[in-house]
Amino acid sequence: MTQSASINKPAPAQRIAKPRARFVLDSGWGRSLLQLAAVVAFFAIWEGAARVGWVSNFLVGSPSKILAALLRDVQSHQLFIDTGYTLFEAILGFVFGTAVGSVCGLALWYSPFVARLIEPFIVAINSVPKIAFAPIVILWFGTGLISKVALAISLTAIVALIAAYEAAKDADPDLQALLVTLGANKNDVFMKVVVPFTLPYVISTFRINVGFGLVGAVVGEFISSEKGLGHMIFTASSLYDLNTVWEGLFVLMAIGFVLYFLIDMLERKLLPWRQASNTTTLKV
């Protein structure tokens, strides 16, 4: 039995090598290198396919021509103007929409009767694609900045409202009853139980609403605008300039990535215990 156990026992080198390789791949640098390699390989294959004629430059474009379009717009400063305009619209819509929606969702906790009364209307509004409101918003607020911000708010507010309300409904009922037993009033229960319980869910909606804020701004620019990334993409597509279209799309992706990263940093600041919990879970 002792001999069998010694035969089946892996060698020390084998036991050390596997965790070490796994550690390198699971580290931040390892993941970043793999992601960078995947991006470089994707664009290299795309460029090669466009050069040898496997894909149409007219219908698909090529990374080299996209880069040329990017450098052209950077040198003319037009890219900075369009990006700044779209980013300003999206951030305003995101901030106001998320704030208003979250406050309204939390306020519904105070009156279950009012919440049940308006819940069907919230569901009905949420079931309609918000893009359908774009022509109405443009007619109401004109073709300027306000209409794009209003459209972004219409997309982000309903998501934040539903998330905050659903989280507030699920706040620990036992803890609420305990505080009431100890003499707490409704405001105390709200501030000490409901708000802390819903905060992670509200912050989670930030990640979703970043995309919706950009969608609202870009769709508004599609319909009526003289600047912005949406206007740039729409104009380039009407001229069959696919490389400029890709340029605008990649800039939008970069904006979304940066905003998502900033929200992740905010979550780490506000909810450090949640990050520690996630890390412990992943290690296990």
pLDDT for 62: 87
Dist. CA 158–CA 163, nearest whole Å: 9
Q: What is the pLDDT of residues 235-269, one digit of tens each?
A: 998 888 899 999 999 999 999 889 888 888 887 88
Say whether pLDDT at 119 is over 70.
yes
Lowest mean pLDDT among 44-58, 168-182, 224-238: 168-182
Say whether pLDDT at 184 is over 70.
yes
Mean pLDDT of the chain: 81
E strand intervals along 170-222? none
pTM for this predicted structure: 0.77
**What is the distance in angstroms between the CA of the first residue and the CA of the last residue of the chain?**
32
Say whether pLDDT at 48 is over 80.
yes
Tokens 């979550």 map to which residue? Answer: 267
Lowest mean pLDDT among 73-77, 114-118, 142-146: 142-146
CA torsion through residues 40, 42, 47, 48, sign:
positive
Q: Which residues touch 175 (CB under 8 Å, ≥6 apart)?
A: 193
pLDDT for 275: 55
Q: DSSP string spanning 135-181?
A: HHHHHHH-SSHHHHHHHHHHHHHHHHHHHHHHHHHTS-HHHHHHHHH
Of 284 and 162, the structure prediction assigns the larger pLDDT to 162
Say whether pLDDT at 283 is over 50.
no
| Range 169-186 average pLDDT | 80
Say whether pLDDT at 102 is over 70.
yes
Dist. CA 101–CA 125, nearest whole Å: 13
Say whether pLDDT at 136 is over 90.
no
| Range 201-211 average pLDDT | 86
User: What is the number of other CB atoms lying within 10 angstroms of the CB of residue 250?
Assistant: 14
What percent of the chain stands above pLDDT 90? 23
pLDDT for 6: 47
Q: Which CATH superfamily is domain 62-283 in?
A: MetI-like (1.10.3720.10)
The Cα-based distances of 56 to 40, 48, 49, 53, 235 in angstroms read: 20, 12, 9, 6, 21
Say whether pLDDT at 2 is over 70.
no
Dist. CA 87–CA 145, nearest whole Å: 12
| Range 107-125 average pLDDT | 86
Q: What is the pLDDT of residues 91-101, one digit of tens each?
A: 999 999 999 99
pLDDT band at 205 (very low <50, low <70, confident <90, very high): confident
| Domain edges within the chain | 2-52, 62-283
Q: What is the pLDDT of residues 9-44, one digit of tens each?
A: 555 444 444 455 555 555 567 777 888 888 889 889
